[in-house]
Amino acid sequence: MESEQVAVSASPRAVDVADCAKEPIHIPGSIQPHGLLLAVAADDFRILQGSANAGIVLKAEVGAAIGRSLRDTLVDEALPLLAQLVPERVPDKGTALLGQVAVGGHCRHVIVHRADGALILEFEESDPAAGGSLDALYPRIRTFVDVLGSTPSIEETTAIAAAEVRHLTGFDRVLIYRFDEDWHGTVVAEDRNDRLPSYLDLRFPASDIPAQARELYRLNRLRLIPDADYVPVPILPVANPATGRPLDLSFSVLRSVSPLHLEYMRNMGTPASMSISIVVDGRLWGLISCHHAAPRKVPVHVRTACDFLGQVLAMQISATSRAADTALRVERQAIQTRLLAFMAAEDQFIHGLIKHPAELMALAGAEGAAVVFNGACALLGRTPGEARVRAIVDWLGRGQHDIFHTETLAAAMPGAEAFAETASGLLAIAISQLHPSYVLWFRPEVVRTVSWGGDPHKPVAAGADALRLHPRKSFEQWKETVRLRSLPWSGAEIDTAASLRNAIVGIVMRKAEELAQLTDELTRSNKELEAFSYSVSHDLRAPFRHIVGYAELLKSDDGVELNERGRRYLDTIIESAFSAGKLVDDLLGFSQMGRATLVPIRVDMNRLVDEVRRMIRPDLADRRVEWRIAELEPCWGDPGMLRLVIQNLLSNAVKYTRPRALARIEIGSERGAKETVYWVRDNGTGFDMAYVDKLFGVFQRLHRMEDFEGTGIGLANVRRIVERHGGRAWAEGEVDKGATFRFALPNQARE
């Protein structure tokens, strides 16, 4: 395991594991002793800082050389390097190899990079016995690239890479270590001998490699520690004269590491280590971690080859991942296309989802789905119950999530652990901007046993003096059962769900626009029809009155002699003209009802009923009527219009109870939380419920004109008035057993 633990300075306060992530490890102030370092100004090569052992390549001790020109102080053997030191050729990030010099009895590779506006020269000792060159390694590297290019899976790719790096470096163990979304790492490939134990498939906590260490791995792809027992060499002076801060060694090959990390290595039994970063699309995907049971140096040309192999591995991982992701996206897009076709074929587009549950669940790779739309809830596959699904929708609505996904719903939503068996994972999309409508996909809990390389809950321990941290000492396998977690949602699944949301929201918006347009057209048509009805009704009243008037004059004129048949014809003309006039009057009233302005006030319904009863009293002559009138709830409405509602209902009750020797008419009310219901019940002729939908239509009659007079507009007026008040009207009846007419008016806060 390759790690970068950090030390914590002495402090009387309690030891905090979070301190590991706070030390600025890119400015350790020292280097490893298998080389030396000089920092020079980029413009005039003036020496700004140097490691304490840099006097080996200088004509004076480093302290005396500070501020002097590198040309004047560098030993003669190293002067040829100055010709290669061209500031413009030094990369802004990364390192460049200047060449090789023999100084102080050692052959040294000279490596240069930029930091804090200076040029950093590192003279790393090389082993003459190691020999070899990058050219000699090229055939093997080429074979590796060819093999890797034809490997179909990431698992096989990483296994091949681990074996190749161990062959090149000779380390006892080489691991491929992959990070997850939470920065925990898992050993996904391994190649080793018997000197070190296997870590394959073990998982290591994110605290083993703190965030700032991961960032260094991302920036500087290769890091070598030949001997964990080294004594650091300080950099002098401590602060860079140009910046006033310690020298930034992010790209240094000799950078010293935290004492805590060195202790971590010793606890692992690996005094030598090397890491090669696997950076995929700019993100640290993982590490190639090399370990040895004894100190070990790796030549520069071998490290360069390993760095190249790491980059090839990263590109192959990226290509394999992209290919798999693309294939998944194409598959999911095909499913989405079919779902959209299903929706287009339905009158209610949402049925296109509900009627094809297998396709809907396959879109997100889920085992259950739910569609909550316009108050309805459809459950498909393995899901929580409806009440729990609605609770999830309410919770999503409070968070205003257009798209939400989690593999651990219990960690996000209080109480979700109760239905983890079916919904540990949730992917949800909001499909309406006005109402709480969602499509939800569910994944069940997957109980897993994770093998950790040591207890993840105890990554470090306090020292005996309680003044510094020590890394954990145990790397024995430690198993943990993970619950309340589903398989994670892939990026392709999340993006496809988001695409489906956009399509559905587009459909909803188009439907809303079409409905608004239709509403406008209907409103305009209604106004035109009302104006036409008013005009026709108003203009027809006079001709019908004239027909009645002149027919009656003709009938009473002594000078006109009519036989019995003629008088009967004349009576029929009068009666028909009178009925037509009444029909025109009712039609005029109906059209005016839609045009009249509501003037709502608090209405005493008891008083209104009394007024109507007095009005219809002449119709009750020689009739036995039993009235049962309860105390009625008041309401908020237009008293004139509501009087017409009561008048129509009571007049109908009186009319249709005419065949009864004793008519019974009941009037009552019941107040609810949102509305108050009023009813009129009678024991009259009733009606067949099969025709109930016709009752409230204009000119609709369920009885013969010869039996019961009327124009068929009264109940149409009742419904229109009630609906204009925001209420509703309905009826129940049974032939020859009476009828009950009800209307409900909304309760108003002003009441």
For the chain, residues classed under CATH 3.30.450.20 are 30-126
Burial (0-12, 13-18, 19+ Cβ within 10 Å), 375? exposed
The total of other beta-carbon atoms located within 10 Å of residue 273's CB is 26
What is the distance between the alpha carbons of residues 109 and 126, in angstroms, rounded to a whole number?
7
CA distances from 104 to 58, 64, 493 (A): 10, 19, 62
Can you say whether the dihedral through the CA atoms of 69, 74, 76, 80 is positive or negative?
negative
Closest residue by Cα to residue 605 from 679, 552, 663, 705: 679
| Domain span(s) for CATH 3.30.565.10 in the chain | 596-746
- Residue 633 phi, psi dihedral angles, 5° rounding: -70, 140
What is the distance, to the nearest Å, from the Cα of residue 677 to the centroid of all Cα atoms in its chain? 43
Chain center to CA of 292: 46
pTM (global) more than 0.85: no
Confidence of residue 4 (pLDDT cuts 50, 70, 90): very low
Per-residue model confidence (pLDDT) at position 551: 74
CA-to-CA separations, 705 to 291, 587, 698, 710, 732, in angstroms, rounded: 105, 18, 15, 7, 22
Burial 620-637 (b: 16+ CB within 10 A, else e): eeeeebeeeeeebbbbbb
DSSP classification of residue 255: B
**Cα 181 from Cα 488, distance rounded (Å):** 10
- Of the pLDDT bands very low, low, confident and very high (cuts 50, 70, 90), residue 560 is low
Q: How far is CA 581 from CA 548, 551, 589, 697, 708, in A?
A: 9, 14, 12, 20, 17
Three-class secondary structure assignment of 56-72: HHECCCHHHHCCCEHHH
Structure tokens at 641: 């219009």
Question: What proportion of the chain, given as a percentage, has pLDDT over 90?
Answer: 45
- Dihedral angle at the C-alpha atoms of 688, 694, 697, 699, nearest 10 degrees? -80
Residue 463 has pLDDT above 50, yes or no: no
**Nearest CA-CA partner of 299 in 86, 134, 544:** 134
Contact indicator for 452, 205 with CB cutoff of 8 Å: yes
pLDDT digits (tens, 9 = 90+) for 640-688: 888 888 888 888 888 888 888 898 999 999 999 889 999 999 998 888 8
Residue 569 has pLDDT above 90, yes or no: no
C-alpha gyration radius of the chain: 46
Select the more confidently predicted residue: 14 or 115: 115
Hey, what are 291's tokens? 């370990």
> Between 694 and 682, where is the model more confident?
682
* Higher pLDDT among residues 172 and 138, named by residue: 172
Mean pLDDT in residue range 589-603:
69
3-state secondary structure of 344: helix
Give the pLDDT mean for 234-254: 93
Overall average pLDDT of the 528-536 stretch: 61
With beta carbons less than 8 A apart as the criterion, state whether 348 and 356 touch. Answer: no
Q: Is the pLDDT of residue 363 over 90?
A: yes
- At residue 469 the predicted structure's pLDDT band, cuts being 50, 70 and 90, is very low
Burial of 91 (0-12, 13-18, 19+ CB in 10 A): exposed
Q: Which residue would you say has higher pLDDT here, 103 or 698?
A: 103
Please report how many Cα atoms fall inside a 13 Å half-sphere around the Cα of residue 274, on the Cβ side. Answer: 30
Better-scored residue on pLDDT, 436 or 194: 194
Secondary structure of 292-319 in HEC code, one letter for each residue: ECCCCCCCHHHHHHHHHHHHHHHHHHHH
Q: Token pair of 603, please?
A: 């209405």
d(C-alpha 423, C-alpha 196), whole Å: 42
Mean pLDDT of 619-630: 87
Q: Letter for the amino acid at 649?
A: L
| Between residues 56 and 149, the one the model is more confident about | 56
| Per-residue confidence (pLDDT) for residue 5, from 0 to 100 | 36
The pLDDT assigned to 175 comes to 94
667 three-state secondary structure: strand
Q: DSSP labels for 127-168?
A: -TTT---HHHHHHHHHHHHHHHHT--SHHHHHHHHHHHHHHH
The HSE-up count of residue 332 (CA atoms within 13 Å, CB side) is 22
Give me the pLDDT at residue 470, please. 42
Q: Which H helix or E strand runs over 656?
A: helix 639-656
Q: Is residue 664 helix, strand or coil?
A: strand
Q: How far is CA 404 from CA 82, 306, 381, 440, 498, in A?
A: 59, 41, 20, 9, 10
CA neighbor of 19 nearest in space, from 210, 182, 205: 210
Look at 217-231, 317-331, 592-606 and tell me which has the smallest mean pLDDT.
592-606
If DSSP codes are grouped into helix, strand and coil, which group holds residue 661? coil
**Length, in residues, of the chain:** 751
* Domain 596-746 of CATH type 1.10.3720.10: no
- pLDDT tens readout for residues 123-142: 998 877 677 788 888 889 89
Q: How far is CA 429 from the centre of its chain?
A: 6
Q: Which residues are registered as beta bridge partners of 235?
A: 51
Give the number of other Cβ atoms within 10 Å of residue 434's Cβ: 7
For the segment 395-409, the average pLDDT, to the nearest whole number, is 90
Q: 170-174, 195-199, 268-272, 546-550: which has the minimum mean pLDDT?
A: 546-550
490's CB contacts (< 8 A; 6+ apart) are 325, 328, 365
Closest residue by Cα to residue 651 from 624, 603, 619: 619
Cis peptide upstream of residue 471 (ω within 30 degrees of 0) = no
Is pLDDT of 256 > 80? yes
Backbone dihedral region of 642: left (phi > 0), alpha (psi from -120 to 50 degrees) or beta? alpha
Residues 6+ apart with CB under 8 A from 251: 93, 94, 95, 113, 114, 115, 120, 219, 220
E-strand ranges in 337-467 read 368-373, 376-381, 403-406, 425-430, 438-443, 448-453, 460-462
How does pLDDT run across 183-210, given as a tens digit for each residue? 988 999 999 999 999 989 888 888 888 8
How many of the other CB atoms lie within 10 Å of CB of 471? Answer: 25
Q: Tokens at residue 83, please?
A: 């010709």
CA 445 to mean position of chain CA atoms = 19
Residue 73: closest CA among 125, 124, 127, 121: 121
Query: What's the CA gap between 684 and 655, in Å, rounded?
Result: 8
Q: Tally Cβ neighbours within 10 Å of residue 711.
A: 19
| pLDDT surpasses 90 at 493 | yes
**Closest alpha carbon to 258 in 192, 201, 210, 316:** 210
- pLDDT at 465 (0 to 100): 42
Q: Which two tokens stand for residue 264?
A: 């971590």
- pLDDT tens digits for range 149-159: 888 899 999 99
CATH entry, 30-126, from 3.90.1150.10, 3.90.1300.10, 3.40.50.300, 3.30.450.20: 3.30.450.20
**Mean of pLDDT values over 322-348:** 89
Q: What angle do CA 190, 221, 210 make, to 5 degrees?
A: 80
Taking Cα atoms as reference points, which of 363, 345, 230 lies closest to residue 297?
230
Structure tokens at 33: 């002793």
- Structural tokens at position 124: 């790393």
More confident residue, 152 or 701: 152
Please state, rounded to an integer, the average pLDDT across all residues of the chain.
83
